[in-house]
Structure 1
Amino acid sequence: MRTIRIGAGSGFGGDRIEPAIELAEQGGLDYLVFECLAERTIALAQQARLQDPDAGYDRLLEERMERVLPPCRRNGIRIVSNMGAANPAAAARAVAETARRLGLAGVKIAYVLGDDVLEPVRAATWPLSDGPGSTADLGARIVSANAYLGVEPIVSALRQGADIVITGRVGDPALFAAPLVHEFGWALDDWTRLGRSALIGHLLECAGQLTGGYFADPGRKDVPGLARLGFPFADVDADGTALFGKVDGSGGELSIRTCKEQLLYEVHDPTRYIQPDVVADFTSARFTQAGLDKVRLEGGGGSPRTDSLKVTIGYRDGFIGEGQISYAGTGAERRARLALDVVRERLDLIGVAISELRLDVIGVDALYAGPRGPHEPMDVRARITGRTASLQDAQRIGREIEAAWINGPAGGGGATWLAREVIAAASMLLPRDLVEPTIHWLES
């Protein structure tokens, strides 16, 4: 039976590049998919685009394309990615320029617009699924609104001959499902196969997590060769059955246990995993170990898609100021706590308005407060973090911890500080008929 091989080139925006090169050169792929967006990533990308109209796409886009385009062109591999983030048009131009610089002529690049739904979101009051009660409560603080698109525009671009498809916000599994819908001609109401493709995409979307990266826990879940971790691929047939593997000789582990852990990643209800194209049901999925670093997936299903699409809203939520300083040796914890007490008093004295304040001694109570062993820590780091309404106040928090270097207590070192605007994220549902994806073209 004919199969299509899809490889995972990245699991987040800052992922390694070498495993994707390995897949492009040695993986025997039909498609290489780069999944690079998290919940707040696109809001931060929108913020970058506000400052520079040519910015707002993935920061590693050019480097990734420069490394993988030559082997992908040699081996007939098509690329699908959401590295367009807040600016798919600029991303596509950057890809075209990279291809031209490499001497790769005739590369057909499609980019998908339409996930930016800021206008309809601002035009009415919509209830929020999380965050403040409604979009009206956020008002002018809203900087972005992006709907999760499905497979349709990607499938259309592939059918029109795109070698590379660049999107903004889409459902993560849709990046992997779209090539399958295209290659096998699945109907967009074939809920069983669409559900299976969402399951396959969900397993692949985090790349190295499936091959033992995030899974690894020394002494409990030992994984070999993490420094040479290989990213996964899947051979998928027309029925939606998949055989997962990785390049021979690459590091990591691909097993039933790594697949089961990834299956449950970010899934609240395995009977109703809601995606733009289908409501997937994972409960009939079955894994079989088919050899070393080979796992077969059978089963999975789905039911009709919903009438709405999830939208992530990015909104301005004040500023964060942070400062850190280290203390070592006898009495390190006592000196760290004194430093934090002094800085807190200093912030009151100079009138810094702080709505939230957190004081941590990293290595003692930053993550887990409560009873601990009798041994005194000999190496700690004091951290103060505060939320403010202005950038100036946020900066003053960090400067006070830096001043502790000389102004006491004794033995502080390695002071650092930063101040940044907070772009928070909230979610809502938007009627599907208010979202209109479009496809645009470039060629190298």
Structure 2
Amino acid sequence: MIGQRTIRIGAGAGFAGDRIEPAVELVEKGELDFLVFECLAERTIALAQSERRAQPSAGFDPMLLERMRRVLPAARARGVRIVTNAGAANPLGAAEAVAALARELGLTSLKIAAVLGDDVLDVVTAKPLPLIDRAGTTADLAAIVSANAYLGAGPIADGLAQGADVVITGRVGDPALFVGPLVHAFGWSLDDPSLIGRATIIGHLLECAGQLTGGYFADAGRKTVPGLARLGFPLAEVKNDASAVLTKVAGSGGHLSLAASKEQLLYEILDPAAYYQADVIADLRTVRLHEEAPDRIAFSGGGGNPRPETLKVSIGYDDGFIGEGQISYAGPGALPRAELAIEVVRERLAMIGVPLDDARFDLMGIDAVDRTERGRPPREVRARVCVRTATAELARRVGAEVEALYTNGPFGGGGVTRSVRPVVAVASALIPADAVSPCVVIVEV
């Protein structure tokens, strides 16, 4: 246990492909106790499970080792402990890979904790479970490739209590990545819903990293964020009562504003009175945020109710293939030529037997997103055809027909791209919390 002092915990990543430089800045200048890398989206773990099936040593975030290479030496020198869900489908393999990297870097006496137990494929395939995001049950899904339960903060705190310098998890609730270190540092009970609820809200505010410091807040001409190219990531100064100040490294880019904090507070929240996590049902209704100073937002209030009896499970399943082709038209008549190209490909695909019941025909820059009234004719348009099919061969025909427009369609098309990719879709269900048995495995260097 670190004790009763203020704990400084930083957000080093908000998604798998996030930038590394702000995390390095946090480690070197943030005077942190803990650094968290949140790298696991809903579909990411299903894709990782597919990779692990093809190669058993794979299945963790491919950027994990580069992140560790950049931050681990400085973190060790400064006593910063790292927590991440970048283990994805293979936390133990990730821990072993980080251990090998540590040896390469000449780091010694390092403990890496792998949190296991979120893989509940056996539970989900044992009997049909109702889906919570659509009608039907798990029996209605095509080939299920993964099922991972959202674990809580307990095993993360356990790994830290065992002396881990790095804790690597698979699927856990995003806020739990921050709650675990705070539970360990302050000796909180996970059975205290008020404290855990407030800590969960702090984690929720931090979990998307650069969103809080203005990255997703910025809107040219409407909401100005200074130094966006040098965007710094946030950290929280947390006290024993789970009050906190949200801030960032002095001199870093971005702006930690009251408005951006309010936006992040409500991000992905369906019911402010009941934000369900494995450890608590957090209540955001009494949260108070105020600007203590520039780039310093004080957080207080909030609470929670006892943990739910069920855990959410993210289920990945194979759902066919997507075939895509794109082609550009420019200059006078660009729009009508692109429209003609779309109609030609639509008719040709129907002629060769490609089903079009799940297809998109878009004019990018015209109607791919915004389908409101058009303005003056554009000078350049990119036509996009995208069809979901049952087989890879049918998907291949989509791009082939778009490419054939070079000489078999309107004149002047160029810059064709084509692709075929398998679809790993995601559904959600609930399982009893006691059906999961998390555990921690320590890998030592």
- 1:313 maps to 315
- Deviation per CA, 1:188-242, whole angstroms, max 9, x where unpaired? 1111110000000000000000000000001211001110000000000000000
Distance 1:173 1:76 in 2: 22
- 1:432 maps to 433
How far has the Cα of 1:329 moved from its partner?
Answer: 0.7
- 2:101 maps to 98
Distance 1:132 1:269 in 2: 21
Distance 1:115 1:354 in 2: 38
**8 Å contact 2:197–2:281 — kept in the other structure?**
yes
Distance 1:143 1:300 in 2: 38
How far has the Cα of 1:355 moved from its partner?
Answer: 3.5
**8 Å contact 2:150–2:312 — kept in the other structure?**
yes
Distance 2:42 2:84 in 1: 16
User: Counterpart of 1:428 in structure 2: which amino acid?
Assistant: A
- 2:326 maps to 324
- 1:33 maps to 36
Distance 2:283 2:212 in 1: 20
Equivalenced residues, count: 442
- 1:48 maps to 51
Distance 1:273 1:357 in 2: 35
1:108 equivalent in alignment to 2:108: no
- 1:380 maps to 381
- 2:62 maps to 59
Distance 2:347 2:39 in 1: 42
Give me the CA root mean square deviation: 1.0
Distance 2:156 2:96 in 1: 18
Q: Which secondary structure state, in structure 2, belongs to the residue aligned with residue 203 of structure 1?
A: helix
Distance 1:55 1:405 in 2: 40
The equivalences for 1:384-395 within 5 A come to 384-395=385-396
Q: Which secondary structure state, in structure 1, belongs to the residue aligned with residue 425 of structure 2?
A: strand
Q: Which residue, 351, 358, 361 being the options, matches 1:359?
A: 361
- 1:252 maps to 254
Distance 1:354 1:400 in 2: 14
How far has the Cα of 1:354 moved from its partner?
Answer: 3.9
Distance 1:288 1:212 in 2: 17
Distance 1:211 1:57 in 2: 27
Query: Structure 1 residues 281, 366: CA separation in 2 closer, same or farther (over 3 Å shift)?
Result: same
Q: Which secondary structure state, in structure 1, belongs to the residue aligned with residue 420 of structure 2?
A: strand
- Deviation per CA, 1:278-314, whole angstroms, max 9, x where unpaired? 0001111111111111111011100001100000000
User: Counterpart of 1:431 in structure 2: which amino acid?
Assistant: P
Q: Which residue, 185, 202, 205 being the options, matches 2:204?
A: 202
**8 Å contact 2:350–2:356 — kept in the other structure?**
no
Q: Which secondary structure state, in structure 2, belongs to the residue aligned with residue 59 of structure 1?
A: coil
**8 Å contact 1:132–1:138 — kept in the other structure?**
no
- 2:71 maps to 68
- 1:224 maps to 226
How far has the Cα of 1:407 moved from its partner?
Answer: 2.1
Identity of aligned residues (%): 62
1:78 equivalent in alignment to 2:81: yes
- Which has the larger displacement, 4-13 or 280-289? 280-289
- 1:409 maps to 410
- TM score, norm. by length of structure 2: 0.98
- Deviation per CA, 1:336-366, whole angstroms, max 9, x where unpaired? 1111111112112222234411101011111
Distance 1:363 1:316 in 2: 31
Q: Which secondary structure state, in structure 2, belongs to the residue aligned with residue 216 of structure 1?
A: coil
- 1:340 maps to 342
Distance 2:87 2:343 in 1: 45
- Deviation per CA, 1:54-84, whole angstroms, max 9, x where unpaired? 1111010010000000100010000000000
How far has the Cα of 1:132 moved from its partner?
Answer: 5.0
How far has the Cα of 1:15 moved from its partner?
Answer: 0.1
Distance 1:211 1:390 in 2: 44
1:178 equivalent in alignment to 2:180: yes
Q: Which secondary structure state, in structure 2, belongs to the residue aligned with residue 49 of structure 1?
A: helix
How far has the Cα of 1:24 moved from its partner?
Answer: 0.7
Distance 1:142 1:354 in 2: 25
- 1:443 maps to 444
- 1:273 maps to 275
- 2:291 maps to 289
- TM score, norm. by length of structure 1: 0.98
Query: Structure 1 residues 210, 42: CA separation in 2 closer, same or farther (over 3 Å shift)?
Result: same
- 2:423 maps to 422
- Deviation per CA, 1:72-127, whole angstroms, max 9, x where unpaired? 00100000000000111111111101111100011100101100000011111111
Distance 2:231 2:370 in 1: 31
User: Counterpart of 1:165 in structure 2: which amino acid?
Assistant: V
Distance 1:184 1:322 in 2: 52
* Alignment gaps of 5+ in structure 2: none
Distance 1:186 1:85 in 2: 27
- 2:26 maps to 23
**8 Å contact 1:355–1:388 — kept in the other structure?**
no
User: Counterpart of 1:240 in structure 2: which amino acid?
Assistant: A
